[in-house]
Amino acid sequence: MDKIALIVGARPNFMKIAPIDREFSKRGIETLLIHTGQHYDANMSDVFFEDLNMRLPDVHLNVGSGSHATQTAKIMIEFEKVCAEHTFAMVIVVGDVNSTIACTIVAKKLGIPVAHVEAGLRSFDRDMPEEINRILTDSISDLLLTPSLDGNHNLKNEGISENKIKFVGNIMIDSLYDALDRVKGSDINPAKKLNLEIYSVVTLHRPSNVDVEIKVNQLTSHLVNISHKIPIVFPMHPRTKNTFERFGKLALLENEPTIHLLEPLGYLEFVSLLGSSTIVITDSGGLQEETTSLGIPCLTLRENTERPITITEGTNQLVSDLTILQTLVDTVLTNDRQVAPQKPMFWDGKTAERIVNSVVSFLER
C-alpha cells in the first residue's frame, strides 16, 4: 500500500492525529506526517509532540500566519510540492482549520482520496471561517468519519451519499483518556503551583469574541467580577493576548489578584488543569467535548455550536448574551449536584481503531 499523508497545522489538530498515527504504526502501515506550520509558537505547537508522545513531523511547510486567503494559499502551494514528491494512497485531514481545507483541495485536484476526521459537524453559522472549512471539506472528501450521529444526519441532509459516511466516534477522547492516565498523581497542574484548590478555567480565541472591542470590554468586567467568586486561570491564546492588549484591557486582567493569566499550556498541563476545575468558560470547540466527557460544567460564549451533543447529552450551555454570564456562573457554583461524566456513544478512547479500520476497508475496496 502507498503511504498515507496525515495533516496537522493548528493546535487542536495534534491531539486528533497523534492516536491515529500510532494506530497506523501499530498495524505496520506507513504514514507521512506533515505539519503546515499554521501554528508555529513553541507553546502552540512543539510542546504537543512531546506531550502526545507523537513523532516529529516528516515534513514542515512553515507557512505561519496571514489573512485567511494568504494562509490557505501558502499551504496549498507548499502541500502540492509534497504531493509531487510522494505517492499517497490517501490524505487524512482533521477538524475545521485552514490547513484542513487547503490540503483537501490540493489532494482532490491531484486525484488523491481524502478522509475527513470530525466530519459532519455544523454550527449553521456561515460567518464562522471554520463552518466554511467544514462544509467545503466534507463536500469533496471521499470518506467522512463522524464523531457523533448528528454529523451523519447533517451530511445526509446535504445530499452526501450514505456509503461515504462512517460513524467512528470522537478522536479527541482517545488523547484525553491517554493524557489523564499520564498526569494521574503528578504535580503538573499549574493551579497547584498557584495554590488554588477551587478555580475556573477560561479560554477564548474566537475572532467574534476577542477581535471586537465592545466584547473585550464586556468580557473583562465580567471576568473580574466572576473571579471574586471563584479564581480564574486563563491560559491566553496569542490572538487573545494581542487584542486585549490593543484594547487596553490586558493590564487590568494582569493586575487582578484573582485572575491568573498564563501563556498557552502544553497538553498534559492543560488536561491536568481542566480535570480538577469546577467550571469552564470558553469559546473552544474541543473544550465543549472534553468538559462533557469529564462531567465539568461548561459555559460556551457563542451563539451556536457545531457540537450539539455536548448540550443534549453533556454539560455544555451556550451563552449568547454576556449579560447573563455571571448569573449562570452563580447557578453552577451554588448547585451542589455533581455532574456525572458523560459518554456519548463511541466517545470511548477507541476511535483511532475504528478510523484505521474504515480507512483500510476504503482502500481495499
- The verdict on whether 237 is a catalytic residue reads no
Kindly state whether residue 304 participates in binding ligand UD1, applying the rule CB under 6 A: no
Q: At closest approach, how far in Å is the CB of 129 from ligand UD1?
A: 4
What is d(CA 62, CA 357) in angstroms, rounded to the nearest whole number?
31
Q: Which of 118, 130, 138, 269 binds ligand UD1 (CB under 6 A)?
A: 130
Kindly state whether residue 269 participates in binding ligand UD1, applying the rule CB under 6 A: no
Residue with cell 470530525: 118
Kindly state whether residue 238 participates in binding ligand UD1, applying the rule CB under 6 A: yes
**Stretch of 146-154, 236-244, 273-281, 326-334 contacting ligand UD1, by CB under 6 A:** 236-244
- Please name every residue paired with 8 in a beta bridge, in sequence order, or none if there are none: 35
Choosing from 35, 39, 205, 237, the catalytic residue is 205
Kindly state whether residue 41 participates in binding ligand UD1, applying the rule CB under 6 A: yes
Interacting residues of 145 by C-beta distance below 8 A, sequence separation 6+? 115, 116, 117, 118, 119, 166, 168, 355, 358
Kindly state whether residue 245 participates in binding ligand UD1, applying the rule CB under 6 A: no
Question: Which phi and psi (to 5°) does residue 201 adopt?
Answer: -110, 130
Burial of residue 270 (CB within 10 Å: 0-12, 13-18, 19+) is: buried
Task: Please provide the distance, in angstroms rounded to a whole number, between the alpha carbons at the two ends of the chain.
Answer: 13
State which amino acid sits at residue 26.
K
Binding mask 57-96 toward ligand UD1 (x if CB under 6 A, else -) reads --------x------------------------------x
Q: Which of 57, 61, 83, 98 binds ligand UD1 (CB under 6 A)?
A: 98
Host H or E run for residue 144: strand 143-146
Minimum CB distance to ligand UD1 smaller for 205 or for 260: 205
Q: At closest approach, how far in Å is the CB of 202 from ligand UD1?
A: 15
State which amino acid sits at residue 264.
P
State which amino acid sits at residue 92.
I
Q: How many residues does the chain have?
A: 365
**Stretch of 35-43, 112-120, 195-203, 331-339 contacting ligand UD1, by CB under 6 A:** 35-43
Q: Which of 31, 36, 38, 358 binds ligand UD1 (CB under 6 A)?
A: 38
Instruction: Please give the residues from 3 up to 22 whose contact with ligand UD1 meets the rule CB under 6 A.
Output: 10-12
Cell of 101: 481545507
Task: Indicate the DSSP class of residue 237.
Answer: P
Question: Catalytic positions, please?
Answer: 205
Q: Applying CB under 6 A, which residues contact ligand UD1?
A: 10-12, 38-41, 44, 65, 96-98, 129-130, 205, 237-239
